[in-house]
């Protein structure tokens, strides 16, 4: 059985991907600031930004595949701590790529749709990025560092949602939590994106890992919509009151970092490479609702100490 190492294993993608792959691979998770207990695969607490830690874990675990989900992903926190964002999102992935390349380990590194300024939309992998925030710039720098050190790596630009350990990590959770509590929330009408359900994303990432493909891929939903529309779709599926969602402009959102208005990405390269039909937003939200019905969020929250 192949060995899989998942960094950022306490994050939204890390935990869900690791749990899905347990039946197919020997999974080890790397965590940093969030302690986990009772989780059905081994985890190790390591700060991968410290010298020597990456070499240690790769030599010890000897993975066949690394999925690098570790990141400083809070956009406004990156604005406040740019040096930490650079180390976590740029320098550390470069170290990881260098060590994976040296050892012949397959690497899939997670990046973001936010590397684009959102003035155009419909972005292809060949389009020139123009990041607007510290987070976006450091993630773009991380892409370059990974591919420079390990040209055979896969870089996946993503935007996703699902159930997290804390219950507060994704936009879908934000809408569900507030609407189910009867609270009014803002929904940006002028921010377009292509969110992919986390389990659908995990499946595609593992298909890329098992393929011979390398380089940049846009791994998002083929359906684009505004964040306001996304919230309304969440409300309808869960039979909540979509009138609680106030349609507003992102300019009135009180956010610290600039957001890109149109982050629609073209997925032709991915679909052609893997010969697949990507699931849309409605299929994803139905699956998201199905997980609530079968108790998935409650089960994974028990892992968080």
34: domain CATH number is 3.40.50.720
Q: Is pLDDT of 7 > 70?
A: yes
| Token code pair at residue 44 | 């190790």
Q: Measured over all CA atoms, what is the biggest interatomic distance in the chain, rounded to whole angstroms?
A: 55
b or e along 35-60 (b: 16 or more beta carbons within 10 Å of the residue's beta carbon)? ebeebebebeebebbeeebbeebbee
pLDDT tens per residue, range 18-28? 999 999 999 99
* Catalytic-residue membership of 176: no
**Domain span holding position 60:** 3-301
Q: What is the predicted pLDDT for the residue at 237?
A: 98
State the DSSP code for 115.
G
Q: What is the pTM of this model?
A: 0.96
The partner residues of 154 in beta bridges, in order of sequence, read 108, 215
Mean pLDDT of the chain: 95
Distances in Å between the alpha carbon of 289 and those of 160, 162, 286, 305? 15, 10, 5, 25
Tell me which of 271 and 257 has the higher pLDDT: 271
Which burial class, exposed, middle or buried, applies to 240 when counting CB atoms under 10 A from its CB (0-12, 13-18, 19+)? buried
Q: Catalytic residue, from 135, 161, 176, 228: name it.
A: 135
| Number of domains within the chain | 1
pLDDT tens per residue, range 223-265? 999 999 999 999 999 999 999 999 999 887 666 666 788 999 9
């Amino acid at each position: 059985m192949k060995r899989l190492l998942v960094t950022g294993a306490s994050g939204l993608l890390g935990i869900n991907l690791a749990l899905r792959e347990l039946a197919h691979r020997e999974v080890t998770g790397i965590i940093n600031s969030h302690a986990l207990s009772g989780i059905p695969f081994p985890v190790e607490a390591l700060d991968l930004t410290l010298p020597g830690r990456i070499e240690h874990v790769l030599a010890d675990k000897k993975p066949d595949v690394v999925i690098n989900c570790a990141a400083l992903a809070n956009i406004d926190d990156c604005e406040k701590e740019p040096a930490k964002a650079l180390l976590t999102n740029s320098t550390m992935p470069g170290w990881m790529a260098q060590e994976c390349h040296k050892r012949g380990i397959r690497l899939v590194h997670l990046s973001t749709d936010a590397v684009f300024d959102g003035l155009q939309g419909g972005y292809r992998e060949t389009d020139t990025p123009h990041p607007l925030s510290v987070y976006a710039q450091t993630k773009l720098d991380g892409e370059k560092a990974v591919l420079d050190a390990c040209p055979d790596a896969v870089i996946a630009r993503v935007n996703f949602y699902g159930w997290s350990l804390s219950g507060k990590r994704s936009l879908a959770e934000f809408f569900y939590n507030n609407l189910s509590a009867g609270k009014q929330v803002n929904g940006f009408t002028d921010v377009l994106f292509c969110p992919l359900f986390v389990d659908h994303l995990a499946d595609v990432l593992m298909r890329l890992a098992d393929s011979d493909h390398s380089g940049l891929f846009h791994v998002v939903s083929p359906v684009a919509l505004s964040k306001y529309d996304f919230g309304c779709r969440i409300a309808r599926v869960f039979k909540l009151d979509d009138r609680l969602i106030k349609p507003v402009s992102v300019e009135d959102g009180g956010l610290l970092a600039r957001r890109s208005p149109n982050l629609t990405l073209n997925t032709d390269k991915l679909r052609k490479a893997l010969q697949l039909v990507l699931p849309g937003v409605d299929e994803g939200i139905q699956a998201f609702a199905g997980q609530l019905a079968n108790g998935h969020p409650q089960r994974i929250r028990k892992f968080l100490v």
